[in-house]
Structure 1
Amino acid sequence: MSTGTAVPPPAVAPRTGAARRVRRLGPGRPLPLTRAWGPLLLLAAWSAASATGALDPHTLSAPWTVVTTTADLLADGRLQSNLLASLTRSALALVAGVGLGTALALAAGLNRWGEALLDGPIQVKRAIPSLALIPLAILWLGIGEPMKVTVIALGVLVPVYLTTHAALRGVDARFVELAETLGLTRREFVTRIALPGALPGFFTGLRMGVTVSWLGLVVVEQINATSGIGYLMTQARTYGQTDVIVVGLVVYALLGLLSDAAVRAAEGRALSWRRSLAG
């Protein structure tokens, strides 16, 4: 039988510090200079192993030896001249590969006959590593610059084609319906909707292509080359100069990082409209 007396709520025990602590399942906030911690740790371990004698200098030269060698190569001009040769090869191959890959992606992505004729052969090329074509490229083009540029360009072509073609084919059907409702011509649809919508895919392929160009350059420059960072490393291998080899590896790494950063900056500028739409 109810007495009409209000029953007070049960007392809630105060939360302890452990109870108040939020359980974090994710990785948490990124640390400052996140990407630098790994390389710095490797550099510290390398320096410590070299200083204590645990690392034989004939196996891997000490960091300070590599720095001294870099200064010597800069002083006599060998590093600059070979770097220029490598940059020239990579730039020619990158322009050719990106241009051809984009053209093929447009032809296959915007036309059903183009896709029927082009997509199959490029998928076959995708399954064949570009470096596996070197023997055939030597037979066809010799061992000079055309062979080196062609092999690198074929490697660049594939990722640019694949990502751009997928972006063109993945245009939202709602945009197609909107274009039809507005009465846009096919040319207007391509220039105003399809191509801007494919830009993110193109830049993804471009970043991959830039990486592929440096990977291919490392190999082709060691095939009867007379200049380039790879040639410098091959000569150093002949004479057992591990310090020069490490300098070449560092140069390749820096070229890859800087070129990727440049593409990302260009992507940010070209796709700034996406941030504006997102608010």
Structure 2
Amino acid sequence: MTLTLDNAAPVTTAAPSAQRRAPRWRGPALGLLLPLTVAVGWEAAVYLGWSNGRLVPPPSRVFSTITELARTGELTRHVAATLGRVAAGFGLGVLSGTLLGAVAGYWSLARRLLDSTVQALRAIPSIAWVPLFILWLGIFETSKVALIAVGVFFPVYLGVMGAIRSVDRKIVEVGRAFRLSGPAMIRRILLPAVLPAYVLALRVGLGLGWMFVVAAEFMGASEGLGFLLIDGQQLGKPAQIVAAIVIFAVLGKTTDWLIEIATLPLLRWQDAFGRHDGET
């Protein structure tokens, strides 16, 4: 685009879309820099004899443990069990949190009735739910999924309710001036305004779901990554414990990335700072 002023040379400005962007691989590469540096440093420390690596095994030993678990088929079985529990709990938590959060955010009477109780329940530690869920639902899958759903519910509820309440009143007044119906107001005004905060709430809820699945799999599970942690502790296998932690980290980051990628088309309208600093 060219701007011309009186008695001045033309001034050329580049549109934001034409600005040079960083390569797409740059962000993930920089994100891997820190963990790879720490891993190489610890491997070198054990190799040079600065540590015996007994309690904190080097990455090579952890990698060999993961390889052995994959070879025997145990890794696939444990990962599938944990992923299934997280998926089921995440789905239930998102559904209930979205519905109640939307009702509490849109309807002030419902908020006054619900919010105090929800906030009180949110302060209860996750481990406190374990004996109650075992008593109510038994020690099998239902209680584990319910515990994960509890962890996912609260951030989604708070994110949806807070996002609806923080919608600019002037935007709502514009919708009323155009005589939009209730469903049209939600679809054309509230939903786009709420989406950025909702996506963030989903990501926070997913992170808590991965945390709660560990507590859930402590409840008498015979398979899952939480079971690998307990088994490694009882048998004195620190490499297996660290391997399970690494797998948790990889799965958590991968699922978070999938949510980010899946919701990216819904947020392309944003002219936010983070979209012009080289991130993708």
TM-score of the superposed pair, with normalisation by structure 2:
0.83
Worse-matched range after superposition: 199-208 or 118-127: 118-127
The amino acid across from 2:121 in the alignment is: K
Give 1:214's aligned residue.
Answer: 210
Give 1:169's aligned residue.
Answer: 165
Aligned length: 249
Q: How many Å separate the matches in 2 of 1:49 and 1:223?
A: 37
The amino acid across from 2:263 in the alignment is: E
Alignment partner of 1:92 out of 88, 112, 116: 88
Q: How many Å separate the matches in 2 of 1:75 and 1:34?
A: 31
Give 2:125's aligned residue.
Answer: 129
Q: How many Å separate the matches in 1 of 2:139 and 2:53?
A: 34
Q: How many Å separate the matches in 1 of 2:52 and 2:212?
A: 30
Share of identical aligned residues, percent? Answer: 35
Give 2:10's aligned residue.
Answer: none
| Secondary structure in 1 matching 2:53 | coil
| Secondary structure in 2 matching 1:131 | helix
**Structure 1 residue 101 displacement after superposition:** 0.2
Q: How many Å separate the matches in 2 of 1:225 and 1:135?
A: 14
Give 1:144's aligned residue.
Answer: 140
- Contact kept, 8 Å, 2:130 with 2:219, in 1: the verdict is no
| Secondary structure in 1 matching 2:52 | coil
Worse-matched range after superposition: 200-209 or 118-127: 118-127
Does 2:247 match 1:251? yes
Give 2:12's aligned residue.
Answer: none
**Structure 1 residue 55 displacement after superposition:** 2.3
The amino acid across from 1:104 in the alignment is: L
Give 1:225's aligned residue.
Answer: 221
Give 1:41's aligned residue.
Answer: 37
**Structure 1 residue 156 displacement after superposition:** 0.4
Q: How many Å separate the matches in 1 of 2:127 and 2:205?
A: 14
- Contact kept, 8 Å, 2:97 with 2:157, in 1: the verdict is yes
Worse-matched range after superposition: 42-51 or 205-214: 42-51
Alignment partner of 2:68 out of 46, 65, 72: 72
Q: How many Å separate the matches in 2 of 1:195 and 1:170?
A: 12
Q: How many Å separate the matches in 1 of 2:169 and 2:179?
A: 15
Worse-matched range after superposition: 73-82 or 186-195: 186-195
Q: How many Å separate the matches in 1 of 2:97 and 2:171?
A: 25
Deviations 1:11-52 (A, max 9, x none): xxxxxxxxxxxxxxxxxx9x9743233212211221022112
Alignment partner of 1:59 out of 49, 55, 68: 55
Q: How many Å separate the matches in 1 of 2:264 and 2:234?
A: 44
- Contact kept, 8 Å, 2:39 with 2:58, in 1: the verdict is no
Deviations 1:212-268 (A, max 9, x none): 011111222122101101112211222111111111111000011111111111231
**Structure 1 residue 203 displacement after superposition:** 0.6
| Secondary structure in 1 matching 2:270 | helix
Deviations 1:131-175 (A, max 9, x none): 322122222222221111111111100000111111111111111
Q: Which runs of 5 or more structure 1 residues have no equivalent in the other structure?
A: 1-28
**Structure 1 residue 275 displacement after superposition:** 4.2
Worse-matched range after superposition: 217-226 or 85-94: 217-226
How large is the Cα RMSD of the aligned pairs? Answer: 2.1
- Contact kept, 8 Å, 1:131 with 1:151, in 2: the verdict is no
Worse-matched range after superposition: 252-261 or 111-120: 111-120
Deviations 1:194-216 (A, max 9, x none): 12211111111100011001111
